[in-house]
Structure 1
């Protein structure tokens, strides 16, 4: 079994990271909102491709405001642009952090689970040959797999 990750993060570093993230969350709390899945689905979305377009329109609207439709509130347009310009770098950094945390926890979790399964299979074999203490451990651990019996290859898919 290849060990692809071997880290020990000091409790102080984990606590400091958690406190820093909680501080970021607290600082941004008055400004962030939550959308419903339906709202997310129906909103026109600004992406990396449309961001330069919006930036250019902001410049044109500042230089040539006569073309701004009367139903577009220039103050709100500018406010939205400043918000997205300020939040996007934070969003990208958070995505990088989230991706790295996801990958690291996935790999560490996978390795821990494989080790746990190896232990479980070892104690299962030991219980089969009546090694002392193995049966009690096996009976306790096997509860995790209740209801997950082997399926017949000819059984219909659910």
Structure 2
């Protein structure tokens, strides 16, 4: 397991209550989904498999990318994938690098359920781990990050103001 993966799990686990954050060492990458649409891909896979006799659930979490020596950083990307009733994890999203490590974070799923009507997206903001500190992506296109001291779930989502 990458050092960043281990540090992330320790830091995040403090804020997930009954949902332990855990590294998932084996996830079968089957593809077939649309790039940059992991939530929709995961939801579609759940729906498609439910038409048959196979029960599939959506999994919320993160992809921890390999360490980037040039920037002394590790990207931690919010991600959704699936698991079947036997505990086999699989991912229909394309473009997942073999070097990325999957980290299940069911507290994200729970947060989405509890705040569904107020969320503009079920995909959490991604993170950067640099110099042993975490930063949350505020604007991925313009590469703008905001330092955060704690990995609280609410820091990863923007709530829509209700009128």
Larger proportion of helix: 1
Q: TM-score, normalised by structure 1?
A: 0.25
Q: TM-score, normalised by structure 2?
A: 0.24
Give the greater-gyration-radius structure (CA). 1
Higher relative contact order (CA 8 A, sep 6+): 2
